[in-house]
Amino acid sequence: MKQSQYFLKTSKAAPKDDVSVNARLLEQAGFVQKVMAGVYSYLPLGLRVLQKVENIIREEMNAIGASEVLMPALQPSKNWVATGRWDELDVLFKLGSRHPKNDDPLPATYSYALGPTHEEIVTPMAKEIIGSYRDLPKAVFQIQTKFRDEARAKAGLMRGREFRMKDLYSFHSNEEDLTAYYNKVAGAYKRIFERLGIPALYVEASGGTFSKYSHEFQVETPNGEDTVYVCNKCSLAVNKEIFDDQKVCSNCNVRDYRETKASEVGNIFELKTKYSDSFNLKFTDEDGSQKTVLMGCYGIGPSRCMGVVVEQHFDEKGIIWPESIAPFKVHLLGLGAKDETVSKAASDLYQNLQAAGVEVLYDDRDSSAGEKFADSDLIGIPYRVVISAKTMGENKVEFKPRNSAESEMLTIEDLIKKLT
């Protein structure tokens, strides 16, 4: 991509109304634009990162045998009335239609919800698919936009009112099968956060009415909203909300914790029959008896993950993207755009890198070296390649990883070898 044509503008001024690191850097570097509190547009650079995050999650979901679906954000109130969450859930956005339908159970003013999560849709959906023990187990996931009327939408992408979520739901005939899948999902989550460059703590949290625990995946970060206690022996952690009841670590039976701030990037729950009861989701077992389907639900916030990655990977100059989710692999800076030999060489190198399958952002703009360097550090692409009259004098280019202070001079041949 040529930077002169790209829909991108960096800014020197930090946003006034949000002091979090991710909001400041992502806005200044031109990844996102704030529309209102907790609502962002993703600009091309930001969308590339978000899509990479979501693809890593998608790959790991496919690897544990889940099928991808897409459910609606606009949902009928009656499903929410059926579970009791129409009145219970304080973050539920409710809206009306100017053309009410006859089967709307509520006054026209509030007949719809904007989905904050999808148990109310996925459970009735599964009724059409699951009838017998032979239909179980099943697992479906989606990667979709969620809406929550959060009281305090702040900290950039970390707490939005409109945000991205991967939600997975599993259906089982018995508890052992549910627990086995739950553990399999936990393994997939561990791999996901490692691949995203934000290894997460495995945290015991309250399980609601149906299980002893749920588990959260929490990334240690000073801006995190949660307080967790990490076992010094085995690093299993406990959320503060249940810490007082926890006498010893449930893994190694000692009480030796350190306290830390963290941000929840994922959450897994055994729902058991909570939602299958509401929608009468049953199956016929081998012996002919009717039983209630057991469910699990498992969430990850790709947009929050993107914010957390920035909170973890930055310096005073800007973002330092992990290679796995960087918008491009290489930032090619052509210095002295007016010098025809340099711009010809830079544009040839740009084409060679693209032909070699390397994702390149090529700064072909007619601006100063200082400006290009500053933008490049702010944007945080993993490898910077500079080509100028000076480097051409040596028949080489300058190569510098974003996370290192050292650069080296390489021939084009060696550069391409290094990057492929």
How many Å apart are CA 348 and CA 345, to the nearest integer?
Answer: 5
Residue 403 C-beta-side C-alpha neighbours within 13 Å? 9
Q: Are 375 and 363 in contact (CB under 8 A)?
A: yes
303 is a contact residue toward ligand ATP (CB under 6 A) = yes
Structure-block tokens of residue 347 = 């544009």
Q: How far is the CB of 207 from ligand ATP (least distance, A)?
A: 12
Nearest to 84 by CA among 297, 282, 298, 278: 278
Q: 218 is written with which tokens? A: 């929490």
> Measured from the CB of residue 254, what is the shortest distance to ligand ATP in angstroms?
28
H-helix or E-strand spanning residue 300: strand 294-300
Angle of helix 21-28 relative to helix 302-312, nearest 10 degrees, comes to 90
Name residues whose C-beta falls within 8 Å of residue 34's C-beta, 6 or more positions apart in sequence.
Answer: 15, 18, 23, 27, 40
Nearest-approach distance from CB 256 to ligand ATP, in angstroms: 26
> Which residue is it, tokens 């997460």?
200
Pick the binder of ligand ATP from 85, 118, 274, 304 (CB under 6 A).
304
Taking Cα atoms as reference points, which of 346, 352, 320, 315 lies closest to residue 333?
A: 346
Of 69-77, 106-114, 160-168, 378-386, the segment contacting ligand ATP by CB under 6 A is 160-168
Calculated CA dihedral for residues 63, 67, 68, 71, nearest 10 degrees: -150
Read off the DSSP letter of residue 73. Answer: S
- Residue 136 CB, shortest distance to ligand ATP, in Å, is 24
The one of ligand ATP, Mg ion, none whose footprint includes residue 304, by CB under 5 to 8 A per kind, is ligand ATP
Of 204, 164, 202, 137, nearest to 70 (Cα)?
164
Residues 253-282 that bind Mg ion (CB under 5 A): 264
> Per CB under 6 A, which region of 12-20, 76-84, 235-243, 299-307 contacts ligand ATP?
299-307
Q: Name the token pair of 127.
A: 């009724």
Binding-site residue total for ligand ATP (CB under 6 A)? 16
Of the listed pieces 53-61, 300-308, 353-361, 373-381, which binds ligand ATP according to CB under 6 A?
Answer: 300-308
* 146 vs 384, beta carbon nearer ligand ATP: 146
Q: Which residue is nearest to Mg ion (CB)?
A: 264
Q: Binder to ligand ATP among 165, 168, 196, 349 (CB under 6 A)?
A: 165
Which of ligand ATP, Mg ion, none interacts with 159 (beta carbon under 5 to 8 A by kind)? ligand ATP
Q: Where are the alpha helices (DSSP H) in 316-411?
A: 340-355, 369-379, 389-393
Give the H or E element holding residue 185: helix 175-195
Window 219-278: residues binding ligand ATP (CB under 6 A): 264-267
Size of the site for Mg ion (CB under 5 A): 1
Query: Quick check: 215 binds ligand ATP (CB under 6 A)?
Result: no
Residue (130 or 309) nearer to ligand ATP, CB: 309
Token digits of residue 76: 């009928």
Nearest to 155 by CA among 27, 320, 259: 27
Distance of CA 385 to the CA centre of its chain: 29
Task: Figure out which of the listed residues 163, 193, 202, 229 binds ligand ATP, where binding follows CB under 6 A.
Answer: 163
- 137 touches, from ligand ATP, Mg ion, none (C-beta below 5 to 8 Å by class): none
Cα 338 to Cα 208, 368, 375, 379, 397, distances in angstroms? 65, 11, 19, 24, 18
CB of 178 to Mg ion, least distance (A): 20
The single residue among 52, 58, 118, 159 that binds ligand ATP, judged by CB under 6 A, is 159
Least distance from C-beta 127 to ligand ATP, angstroms?
Answer: 23
282 and 292 Cβ atoms separated by less than 8 Å: yes
Stretch that binds ligand ATP, among 81-89, 157-165, 192-200, 318-326 (CB under 6 A): 157-165
Binding track over 117-136 against ligand ATP, x by CB under 6 A: x-------------------
Helices (H), 128-206: 175-195
**Of the residues 160, 296, 336, 380, which one makes contact with ligand ATP according to CB under 6 A:** 160
Stretch that binds ligand ATP, among 78-86, 297-305, 359-367, 370-378 (CB under 6 A): 297-305
Q: Select the binding partner of residue 46 from Mg ion, ligand ATP, none (C-beta < 5 to 8 A, by kind).
A: none
Q: Which of Mg ion, ligand ATP, none sits in contact with 266, Cβ below 5 to 8 A by type?
A: ligand ATP
Residues near Mg ion (CB under 5 A): 264
Residues near ligand ATP (CB under 6 A): 117, 148, 150, 159-160, 163, 165, 264-267, 299-301, 303-304
